[in-house]
Each structure stands twice: as C-alpha cells, then as structure tokens.
Amino acid sequence: MSTIRHLSFIGLEYAFAPEKAYGMSRGGGFRRQGGLVEVETDAGVTGIGEAFGNPFVTREYFRMIEPFFVGKSVFDFEHIEARIRNSMYHLGVGNQLTACLAGINVALFDAIARGFGVRLCDLVGGCRTTRIPAYASTGFFSDDPARQLSHMLAEAAGHPYAGAKIKIGRGLKSDLERVRQARTALGPDKLLMVDINGAYTVDVALECARAIAPFDIHWIEEPLPPGDFAGYAELRARSPIPVAAGEAHHTMRDFRALIDGRCVDIVQPSIPGVGGLTEARRIATLALAANVRLAPHVWGGAVGLATALHFVAAQPASPHVDHPPHPQMLEYDMSDNALRTELLKTPLKLDGGHVLLPEGPGLGIELDPATVKRYRVC
C-alpha cells in the first residue's frame, strides 16, 4: 500500500493588460489565478490536482493541513478530510480550505490511477465515453474594444459546439439585447444558456426569465445569490426557463439543500471548489437519486478542465440510457487564460465540438515545466 511521501503547492497567476479586462454582471478583472497540488508517493508516483481561487490564501491553508496527509495511505483521503473538517469547522467550508482539499483529493486520485496504470475516470465510475460534448463559455462583459460580445459570439458560432453560454445580469434592457444578439449569431439550433452570477432578486430574475424565454434559453444560471434557497425554490416554480446553480455552493450539504428544496433543475458543482472528486461524486449521487440533471461548472486552469472531463465521462446515462434529450456537456471556457491554454505539454484536444479524453493513466496530462515557472507566484 503506497503512502504519501511529499506534497507541494504551486500558486499560479496569469495577468494581462488592464484595458483588456473581462468579467460578469458583478464586475471584471485582468488576472486569472489558481493553484496546483502535487502529491508524491513512496513508490515514486506523482499526481496533480487543481485548487480554485487566490493562491496566496490557498498556500496558507495548505501549510496548515499538509501534515495531516504526510505518511498516510494514498487511499485515506476521506478519513483525513473528516478529521480536518471536524476539527477546523470554525474556519468555514466555502473558502480556500475546501479548495485546498480539492487539489489534494484530485492529486491523490491521479497518483492512484497512475500507479495502477488506469485512467482516472476508471476509478470514479468507469469511462462511459471518451468524447464529451462541449458548450462554449463565452460572451463576457469586456473592456476590450477588439473583443466585444459580437466577436465572442462569432468565435463560438464558428465551432461545432453544442451551444454557448453568455453573461447577462446588468439590467433587463441589456439582458434582452445580449440574448437577441446571441440567438441571431448562433442560429436556431444551438443551445443558448445565460449566466447572471447571482446579481438579481427573485422579482427581477423572474422578469428577466419571462422576457428572454422566447429566445429558447436552455438554462438560466445563478440568477440569485447562492444563499437565497427560498428564492431559488420560488423562482424555479415560476420560471419559464430551467434554473441552474452550484458554482458558488461548496459542500454536499449545500447541494442537498438545493436538491431537496427543488431549487434548481440543473446542479453545477465545481470540482476545484467543492473539495474534489470525492465530494463531487457525493453530489452526483444526490442528483441521481433525485432525478436532477448534473452539469459541472468548469472555470479555471487546464488541470481542472481535465478533471471535469474525466468526471463527466464517468457519469452514468440516467434516466434516458441511449437517447438523451440533451447531451451532458462540458463547459469549455473561451476567455483569455494562459493557465488553461499553455499549462500542458499536450493540450486537450477538440474534435467536432467534443473534448477528447486524454490517453494514458491518471488524468492523462503532463504539465509544461517552463509554463509553470513562468506563471508561478508562490
């Protein structure tokens, strides 16, 4: 049985010109941040995982919990996680402690799979498919005159993606115009999703949903702040558009409240933010038991994207079996982010609107050391 010999944390940041800042309803920025955790076993096998958020904060949590893992079995994550969460409950869960645990968790899965010579998805349910349909995550609010909504939509329409998701949430007039522009650019057949990033109250979100419903919106994402569970339940019951949420919810308990309360039609756990694959699988089980759709949120670097690819590949086809009404899609971020596009020696491959599962054991990816060095900040 392999043990954990060493763990290390790498903080990354990609900064670009402030005048090219982009973002969402609540604001934008010109920095993309994240972190990587590397785990080395006593057998000399190394695994990697991604932690969401500010790397300087994550580093301090990593220093605090690293001793809990060193010398333990690579299979003991759940026991160690429980000890950390139960002894440090006063530090909260929707923060960089959870993100740090996510990086360690995925790195352990990667190391275990590499040690057995199997793909990571084989460990978390088996690989149902090696071609995952993707939708373009695009249509950001942008300060760059050369990259406005029209430019982003043209880029998305030029690829055979299943659909595209755009940002709205800066007022109903703006919402309606952006949705109209998106539907015109994408045509009638591609799926169109909208993301409000929690900027509205129930009444405004309902007014927005009713106004844009004629444009055949596949889902309306994060219409309300994450803590407004009662508002979500009310909105879902009245909205003409399916409601999705989850990127700002951080534990199985949050998702249980969303699911049991029938607050959403689609749950969207973000693996680097919920605590890793172990917690994401718990959330997937809750969704499966309640017959609620699952569409992981993916926003970060290349390692997180690869992890989500394996996670989606391992999800069972339920309840539709061979004839899904809609594909289970992978969110594919199309923003400017070198931590996604440059971090791997061999980038993830797109083919016919699908992202291909990498070949090889574990995550099937390898970091480019020169790129890691270029963007390392701690």
Cα–Cα dist 133/154, whole Å = 19
36, 109, 325, 326 from 276: Cα distances, Å: 13, 10, 29, 26
User: Going along 102-151, which residue ranges are E strands?
Assistant: 131-137, 141-142
Residue 283's Cβ-count burial label (10 Å; 0-12, 13-18, 19+) is buried
The closest alpha carbon to 15, from 32, 1, 27, belongs to 32
Cα–Cα dist 175/199, whole Å = 12
Cα–Cα dist 31/12, whole Å = 10
Query: Which one-letter amino acid corresponds to residue 50?
Result: E
DSSP 362: B
Return the active site residues: 297
7 and 70 Cβ atoms separated by less than 8 Å: yes
